Structure 1
Amino acid sequence: MFVIPSIANQDRFVELQQLRYVVAVAETNSFTRAAERCLVVQSALSHQIARLERELGVKLFERTSRRVRLTPAGSAFLPAARQCLDAAERAVAEAAAAVGEVRGRLAVGLIPTVAAVDIAAALREFRQRYPQVRISLHVGASDDLVEQVKQGVTDVAFLGLPTTAQPHGVVAHALARGRLVAVVAPDHPLATEPTVNLRRLATEVFVDLPAGTAGRAQSDQAFAAAGLTRDVAFEVTTADLIARLVGQGLGIGLLPAAYVPQLTGVTTIEVTDAPTRVEYVVWSRFTRTPAATAFLAILDIPTENRPDS
């Protein structure tokens, strides 16, 4: 782990370890859980944060017997603290890369319905090649993932967007374009139909992703463009849960054709005027770590001379 004894600010000194403790408390909302994450006793962590607050002359956390939360000063301090820690990790990674080693971290984000890339296989190959890199993976909505890449929280993210939208503020590479299909329960009246159109589907109750998400937008836009409205009675956050509710006959759904073969308990129907989505992989316009570069290389994604989006 890269350690700088302190960062000077006039007569005050801020240690990177103190920044790590602040970030851990902010993310766990608990001194106890933060100490467990940082592998340190709670008293030592609390002492270092109290020392930092004295040096800064502000309180970073409000502490009560029931909860811990950031003060306004703490909320202002947190983004810069994360940036300092990220910069320290990048410095180590860049130094190692100069002598042919890939170290540091690889934070990957993805939507649940990624189909253009076998993420698990790619991460397995990456870990085999670069065992010194710490890998993390999280699932989220496309818009949130783009913001995380901009902020440097996520290094590489896999998205799915309507054809009317593109990722902005990041470097983007289109992976695949595919149509959505209808999924229904095996005993649904439509289950025996080879094809269906949006007008017929609009008479059904739907299970879908939350309104406002990119995964929902492609369907909403298609129905609106056809002059149709639909009843989305169930809003859930994962495609797997959509399939489970559909399988129980609670509604029907629209999911990417390339994704649905891995689902069970539902029947797939081609939609003649189906909406289309584009899958992208995105990364930062400003900082691409050696680990991110190596991961994109495993996927055969070109990174040089890429235009910004």
Structure 2
Amino acid sequence: MVDPLRGDALRYVQAVARTGSFSAAARSCGVSQPALSNGVARLEDHLGHRLFDRSTRGVRLTAFGARLLPRVDAALVALDDITAETRRWAAPTDADIRLGVSPLIGSDLIGRTHGAVSTVGDAAQHLVLHEANVADLLVALRAGDLDLLIVPSVGPLPGYEHRIVGSEPVVVVESSPPDDGPVDLRDLTDQSLILLPDTCGLTTFTQDLFTSHGFPVNRYRGEASSYRVLEEWANLGLGSAMIPESKLASSTTRRRRVHDDNGEVEIFYAAIWDPSTAKSAELRSVVDLLTE
């Protein structure tokens, strides 16, 4: 059973109190809104009192929440101190920036990161690039084998810094689209969606997107192996495929951008790093350049 007093739940509370919004807090934590909301709700159930009053006007601390918040802040400081002191023992001494990226990350963002590393570092510093599935990248970051990740912003990683460094529109590919105009996410619930294995982050993003709107995912029973196959199968009429626009194999592929009640749906990419490593200041400077 998941302990509701874990550090990630406390960070969610801290972020909601700081931003006054569950959606803004989710973005700052690099997680989906349902994941953050569920974490806060489990903590409230465990404590037996509500931490926040939710209304159409926004979110504010209850009297109990205001009383508890300084203790939440102190607990997180203590946790971060323990984590930082432990990781300093294994701090890397080489000058290179070891970057791990999901296959979803395009060459444009990788190129910008390479330029940022060149700007921040000295002549002896290089960008060493590793592409792998998200789960493997997270293991490598925790083990100290990578310094920085750029991955889809779809899951929590407590104790690490998160910053959104890019985004792009999400499109749907269909065999016979009625037109080239946008499609409402709600309308895709009637279509069979072809998905990938849950490795690069796209499937997690897609499922979280539908869940956050309260929509079911009508999943195709098969599974594609690549973005190219997603596109080909959709064009064959096996189902529809939701893909970041940059991952389309052909610029001539007919596609429709996906919209929800807030406008155009985008997938966000986050930089993640350990704030306690010896390279933390350099990594923060690199990420600062990516967000300018």
TM-score if structure 1 supplies the norm length? 0.51
Is the 1:218–1:275 contact (alpha carbons within 8 Å) kept by the matching residues of 2?
no
- Residue from 274, 280, 284 that aligns with 1:284: 274
Partner of 1:108: 99
- Residue from 144, 147, 150 that aligns with 2:139: 147
Aligned to 1:267, what secondary structure does the other structure show?
Answer: coil
1:47-76 deviation digits (Å, cap 9, x = unpaired)? xxxxxxxxxxxxxxxxxxxxxxxxxxxxxx
Stretches of structure 1 lacking an aligned partner (at least 5 in a row): 1-82, 94-103, 304-309
Structure 1 133/247 Cα, relative in aligned 2: closer, same or farther at 3 Å? farther
Is the 2:196–2:203 contact (alpha carbons within 8 Å) kept by the matching residues of 1?
yes
1:109 CA displacement: 0.9
Is the 1:161–1:278 contact (alpha carbons within 8 Å) kept by the matching residues of 2?
yes
1:235-261 deviation digits (Å, cap 9, x = unpaired)? 34543443344345443211234x357
1:215 counterpart = 2:194: no
Is the 1:112–1:239 contact (alpha carbons within 8 Å) kept by the matching residues of 2?
no
Q: 1:242-253 alignment to 2 at 5 Å? A: 242-253=230-241
1:255 counterpart = 2:248: no
Aligned to 1:109, what secondary structure does the other structure show?
Answer: strand
Partner of 1:132: 124
- Residue from 147, 150, 153 that aligns with 1:161: 153
Which structure shows the bigger proportion of residues in strand conformation?
Answer: 1
1:228 counterpart = 2:216: yes
Deviation >6 Å, runs of 4+: none
Give the aligned residue type for 1:217: T
Aligned to 1:154, what secondary structure does the other structure show?
Answer: coil
Give the aligned residue type for 2:269: E
Aligned to 1:157, what secondary structure does the other structure show?
Answer: strand
Distance, in Å, in 1 between the alignment partners of 2:117 and 2:272 is 18
Structure 1 216/143 Cα, relative in aligned 2: closer, same or farther at 3 Å? same
Aligned to 1:220, what secondary structure does the other structure show?
Answer: helix
Point out which structure has higher relative CO (alpha carbons under 8 A, 6+ apart). 2
Structure 1 298/272 Cα, relative in aligned 2: closer, same or farther at 3 Å? closer
Distance, in Å, in 2 between the alignment partners of 1:288 and 1:182 is 43
The alignment-based identity, stated in percent, is 16
Is the 2:117–2:127 contact (alpha carbons within 8 Å) kept by the matching residues of 1?
no
1:141 CA displacement: 3.4
Structure 1 262/173 Cα, relative in aligned 2: closer, same or farther at 3 Å? farther
Aligned to 2:230, what secondary structure does the other structure show?
Answer: helix
1:295 CA displacement: 6.0
Partner of 1:171: 161
Aligned length: 200
